[in-house]
Amino acid sequence: MLRKVIVVAIATLLVAAAAWGQGTDPLLGPHNVGGVGCQSCHEPHNALAGPGAYLWGRAIPTRTYTTYTTSNGEGGTLSTLPATGTGMLGNQTATISTPNNPGALATVNQLPQAHTILCLSCHDTSFSTMGCTSTTLAGCGSGTIYPGTAGSGGVGILAGTNYAVGNNGDLSRDHPVDVLYPTNDPTYWANLQYSGSGNQWTVTFGDTTYPYGHPARLFSIDGATAYIECGSCHNPHAQMNAVIITPGTSGTGTTMTAVPTSHFIRGQYRDNTEALATPPASYSSTTLDVDNANFCMSCHSYPSAQFTGTVH
């Protein structure tokens, strides 16, 4: 009897150890590509050239994407940063001109579009990375690399033949990226706040009426305009965890709250279709629709109860 118990215990341990050893990480999830942790994207040495380039460890193809064009005519195309020559990623002393800050010397992390292009360096299917093959993520190591299965699930739950966004340079079916947050449009939140100096700015929403808070991150290089990028909605470092800042319960100040999320979204967002290894306890809530809509409304004020229609 004792022998059986020992055998079962050992077998259990082996199975558990094997399962645990599949390169999982409670925060990175599928971004723990091949089980290498932060090195899925970053290299501590000999990373992508360019000051402030987040020590990016992956190649960025030179290409131009077709993006969604907004109702006010923004968007349409997005070109990657120059890979060689005098571009930001090829020369540490390059001078970068941006539409809103021409001629200003900037580092890569200060460029709004960098927070889209770095994402696309993996997700546009042109990547060439360790353990990965062809133009899909299918070969990237063992275990569940990406939620969904081929042919049914993609980034953003779009049906498709692979898990990519920006495949063949096509972003026309995706939420607009590298476009200005339309502060002159009454259907969006007004009163953006800028803090910082030079090319380094932090953008926050001045609104304090929306109880859900505004977890989206906008990017600015000039302290006057704010861009929407992939990183506006997504925090690539945490698949199912987010921290949001909401108005204080007493009507003053703010409160930081940990909330469950999915798809690396920066605010509370729950999607039971995502293949979660260890979903948070609150994940099975039946209030999914409300939570998810709240996240969208944190940028799009029009559908919210706090919409005033005031022309900015």
Partner 1 sequence: MKNTKIALVLAILILTVSTVTWGQATLGSGTPLAITNESADVQANPTAGGHMSHGCLLCHTPHNGGGVTVQGTTSGITTWNGACLVTAGCTGVQGAAVGKLTQGNVYLWGQALGQLTYNSWDSTGLTSFSNARVTGGAGVLSVPEVHSLMCLSCHDGATTGSSYDLGVNTATGYGGLTGTGTAQGFGPPGLNGVTWSYYNGAWSNGSLMNSHPINAHYTVGGVTLPGLWHVTINTTQYSVKFNDTNFNYWQAWSATGHPARLWTDGADAYVECTTCHEPHRFSQYAYPNNGSWNPTDAGTWEVGIPNSTVYYLRGPYSDASATTDGPKHAAVGTGNTTQNGEMNAQFCRSCHYEKSIEYFNQAGTQPD
Smallest separation, CB 244 to partner 1 (Å): 9
Distance CA 58, CA 41 (A): 6
Q: Rank residues 55 and 157 by Cβ distance to partner 1 and give the closer one.
A: 55
Smallest separation, CB 55 to partner 1 (Å): 6
Q: Rank residues 36 and 190 by Cβ distance to partner 1 and give the closer one.
A: 36
Smallest separation, CB 173 to partner 1 (Å): 27
**Single-letter code of the amino acid located at 256:** M
Smallest separation, CB 172 to partner 1 (Å): 27
Q: Rank residues 188 and 194 by Cβ distance to partner 1 and give the closer one.
A: 194
Q: For residue 259, how many C-alpha atoms fall within 13 Å in the half-sphere facing its CB?
A: 25
Q: Rank residues 44 and 103 by Cβ distance to partner 1 and give the closer one.
A: 44
Distance CA 241, CA 133 (A): 29
Q: Rank residues 1 and 18 by Cβ distance to partner 1 and give the closer one.
A: 18
Please tell me what DSSP assigns to residue 81: P
Here the contacts of 299-304 (C-beta below 8 Å, separation 24 or greater) are 299/181, 299/188, 299/189, 299/214, 299/216, 299/228, 299/232, 300/187, 300/188, 301/187, 301/188, 301/189, 301/207, 301/210, 302/187, 302/188, 304/210
Q: Which residues bind partner 1 (CB under 8 A)?
A: 14, 17-18, 20-28, 32, 34-40, 43-53, 55-59, 83-84, 89-90, 92, 107, 127-131, 141-142, 237-238, 241-243, 256-258
Distance CA 132, CA 140 (A): 4
Smallest separation, CB 223 to partner 1 (Å): 18
**Length of the chain, please?**
312
The answer to whether 154 and 163 have CB atoms below 8 angstroms apart is: yes
Smallest separation, CB 11 to partner 1 (Å): 13
Q: Rank residues 35 and 166 by Cβ distance to partner 1 and give the closer one.
A: 35
- DSSP strand pairing (170-171 vs 64-69): parallel
- Judged by DSSP in three states, 75 sits in strand
